[in-house]
A and B are shown apart, each in its own frame.
Chain A
Amino acid sequence: MRKRPNILFINTDQHSWDALSAYGNPYLQTPNIDELHRNGTSFRRSFCTDPVCAAARSSWATGLYTSETGVPFNGGSLHPEIQDLGQVLSEGGYRVFHCGKWHVPGRNVRESFQTLYYGRRDIGAGGAAYYDSASTHAVADFLTNYEADEPFYLQIGYVDPHDVCEYLHNHEEKRIPNPVEQGIVSEDALPPLPENFDYDERETVLHRVCRRVDDALIHAAILKGIRDWDELHWRYLRWNYYRFIEKVDAEIGRVLALLRATGLHENTLIIFSADHGEACGSHRMFQKFTLYEESVRVPFIVACLNEGMAVEKDRLDETHFVSGVDLFPTVCDYADVDVPEHVQGMSVRPIVEGRDVHWRDYAYIESNYWGRAIVSEGYKYVTEYKPKSEEDFSPPGPDAKQLGLAQLFDRRNDPGETENLAGNVIYSEDVKICRDKLLTQEVKLHRRQIVHPSPKRIILNWGERLRTYWEHGR
């Protein structure tokens, strides 16, 4: 019987799907993640379950969507009865380790994993400049000393490029000159504005209230601080974002070098992904929290640095829709550990090994409790549930009558998602097909009532604002 592999899950934070030099982005250099791509299968249709840290990470930890985990916001709390990946793998005979960012509120990482490093004070959302290098030191200590007979599962949570959030927060309180005024970077050296810098204003109420209006529910202070940004400011945001990614790529490079040097690469499967993306100027947006592509689409690579495992290498998979819920069953599959009942994801192992497998034909995404999206071959469908008149704290859906506004984008002809086709009668049948997919998917979910006071408070406050917008248009 073949020895079960070690499994190394390396994750970055806020890393958009196309921000890798291996995928042809000329504005940054990521030689180490590129190496993973050359030694593995890159899933190009990979989507987070929910574009915010804690929510997306709750799906990694459980294989469930966020209306099932109890973590629809950063302020959520994982339902205590749900088993996490560390617990399941431990029961399956693996030694399980965690290093770096965790950010699954409601679950003590030290109870589910042996922690190599979790900050002097527990790592929260940000702070890569402090934590990422220390995480690599901790992993170095681990890899150079690992002598146990049992296989290990190690997850490394790097914080960068999430530090781009702090770059943005800094603009809340003062005007920082653009880079040409500073004299630091010439205009020629800056990435251009994204092609979808402009956007169709016919957005869902949720998008508007959360991210557009002056008193937006999320990071209104940043929004106010960057209202008068010129083109160079936006391009400098992109320039800085790419430097953050290069920085974390270098950390990953040290880990990969040590994996080779210790010989552990011989029997270690590596999975690389990110919790969510970064808008980085697309749709005049920053950070995540929306259902636009840059916010929800993430890299997902399965690799092995030797030839001993059946991993198809240097391969771009442009076919299969992969979701954050797939991490859990994929790891269990390689570990030969049973997947708990109700886990929503599917193992990508057959695809990585070049075998035929029946697969879903869409990705399902939630956002900010009420937001929903279906990404399919031809269209991206974005919609929202209206807040209930009396909140019962059961995550909404499936309920066609309660759906609010919709956005529909033609993925083939409008990949930048700049024209909302949802109101055009020509596309009414396509909207219906997408809506049916959404409602059918939601029937499969095991939604649980939110009981923790923190997310309940957010649901009440935000729900009230959203109701006001629906009733009074403001």
Chain B
Amino acid sequence: MVDSNVHHWSFDYNYGAQNPQFAQELIRTLRGYNPKVGARQADAKQTVRHVYNILPNYWRGYSRGDAEGQLSIGTAIIERSKDNNNLWHYSVEYENATSGEDLRMQFRCGDEPYRPLTDSWHVDVRNSGIDAYSRSTCDGHLTLNREVKLRINGTEVSAGTVDAGVELTCNWALFDVIPALVQAIQASDDGVEIAVLADLEQLRSKSRLGFLESIEVPFALEGYYLYGIGLLPSYWWLDADGNVAIASTFFETLVLGESIR
């Protein structure tokens, strides 16, 4: 791992002379985790916890809130463990200083490579802005007809229907799905189809996961992409042990800073 000013176009916030520089912050964050704790090797009985530092990407208008002297605009924490019924229990915290959003998400997935969403899930959102909105809740489930039902602040709405034969997972489970699907993705010319329930609220049907390329930034990483209807491309970079070390969208770069089991 070197501190050189190396980038890839998919995670390359290099605007102007901000201090600290993006590359330094990225490397500093990556140094914080032990790359030997891979998602593929996770002990089923124990809780796996990944902590991501959220750095900006592409957009110059981000706000760090009150935090001076760092690029970080928030944190994403993903915890999961498998129960005796072979269900994965996920607990995700996502806090963003620019939007003021603080999402707490709980959901369960089957013990399969696609981590299909099962039974019900819950989202609790709080916002630290100064305006009238401060909290929203959402409970959801998938019906037998594969319709996504949401109960938002107690009011039930449909979020759409998942196509037959396509697995539905949550974007926050992709940190395990992509490592598990590496062989299937690489064996396919045009990737694999998946349906994603973004933040457990927005159904993104007909999404595709595919292989991008391999790079050495700052150590060996394999890149994968995801896009779909209403889903701008995002890029997922796996280390040799199957950790998603970097995940970037147009606006955010999630950099793995802590991995605990």
**What is the interface of chain A, defined by CB distance below 8 A to chain B?**
29, 97, 99, 110, 114-121, 124-127, 129-131, 133-134, 137-138, 140-145, 163, 166-167, 169-170, 173-177, 182-186, 240, 243-244, 246-247, 249-250, 254, 257-258, 260-262
Interface contact B9-A174, CB-CB below 8 Å: yes
Interface contact B59-A120, CB-CB below 8 Å: no
Interface contact B212-A170, CB-CB below 8 Å: no
List, in ascending order, chain A residues with CB within 8 A of B233's CB. 184, 240
**Which B residues, 207 to 230, have Cβ-Cβ distances below 8 Å to chain A?**
210-213, 225, 227, 229-230
Given known contacts A117-B129, A144-B152, A174 and B12 CB-to-CB distance under 8 angstroms: yes
> Out of B96, B156, B230, which one reaches A247, CB within 8 Å?
B230
List, in ascending order, chain A residues with CB within 8 A of B202's CB. 133, 250, 254
Complex: chain B residue closest to A174, CB-CB: B9
Given known contacts A117-B131, A183-B212, A247-B232, A144 and B153 CB-to-CB distance under 8 angstroms: yes
List, in ascending order, chain B residues with CB within 8 A of A183's CB. 210-213
CB distance from B8 to the nearest CB of A (A): 10
CB distance from B189 to the nearest CB of A (A): 10
**Which B residues, 232 to 261, have Cβ-Cβ distances below 8 Å to chain A?**
232-233, 249-252
List, in ascending order, chain B residues with CB within 8 A of A120's CB. 63, 65, 97-100, 127-129
For the complex, would chain B's binding face be called helix, strand, loop or mixed by DSSP majority? Answer: loop
**Which B residues, 192 to 216, have Cβ-Cβ distances below 8 Å to chain A?**
199, 201-203, 210-213
CB distance from A95 to the nearest CB of B (A): 12
Docked complex Cα distance between A125 and B62 (Å): 11
The answer to the question of B132 belonging to the interface, with a C-beta cut-off of 8 Å to chain A, is yes
Interface size class of chain B, counting residues whose CB lies under 8 Å from the partner chain: 35 or more
A–B Cβ pairs within 8 angstroms, 5 of them: A29-B230, A127-B61, A138-B132, A184-B233, A243-B227
Docked complex Cα distance between A120 and B96 (Å): 9
CB distance from A67 to the nearest CB of B (A): 28
Complex: chain B residue closest to A29, CB-CB: B229
The answer to the question of B231 belonging to the interface, with a C-beta cut-off of 8 Å to chain A, is yes
CB contacts between A and B, total, < 8 Å: 163
List, in ascending order, chain A residues with CB within 8 A of B156's CB. 261
CB distance from A265 to the nearest CB of B (A): 12
Q: A120-B99, A120-B128, A144-B154 are in contact. List 15 more A-B contacts (CB 8 A).
A: A29-B229, A120-B100, A127-B61, A127-B98, A131-B99, A140-B152, A141-B135, A166-B250, A166-B251, A169-B58, A174-B9, A174-B14, A184-B210, A185-B227, A250-B230
> Out of A137, A141, A163, A184, which one reaches B101, CB within 8 Å?
A137
CB distance from B144 to the nearest CB of A (A): 20
Interface contact A134-B58, CB-CB below 8 Å: no
List, in ascending order, chain A residues with CB within 8 A of B230's CB. 29, 243, 246-247, 249-250
Complex: chain B residue closest to A250, CB-CB: B230
Interface contact B131-A115, CB-CB below 8 Å: yes
The answer to the question of B190 belonging to the interface, with a C-beta cut-off of 8 Å to chain A, is yes
Given known contacts A186-B190, A249-B230, A254-B201, A142 and B59 CB-to-CB distance under 8 angstroms: no
The answer to the question of B19 belonging to the interface, with a C-beta cut-off of 8 Å to chain A, is no
Complex: chain A residue closest to B101, CB-CB: A134
List, in ascending order, chain A residues with CB within 8 A of B201's CB. 133, 254
Interface contact B61-A119, CB-CB below 8 Å: no
List, in ascending order, chain A residues with CB within 8 A of B12's CB. 174
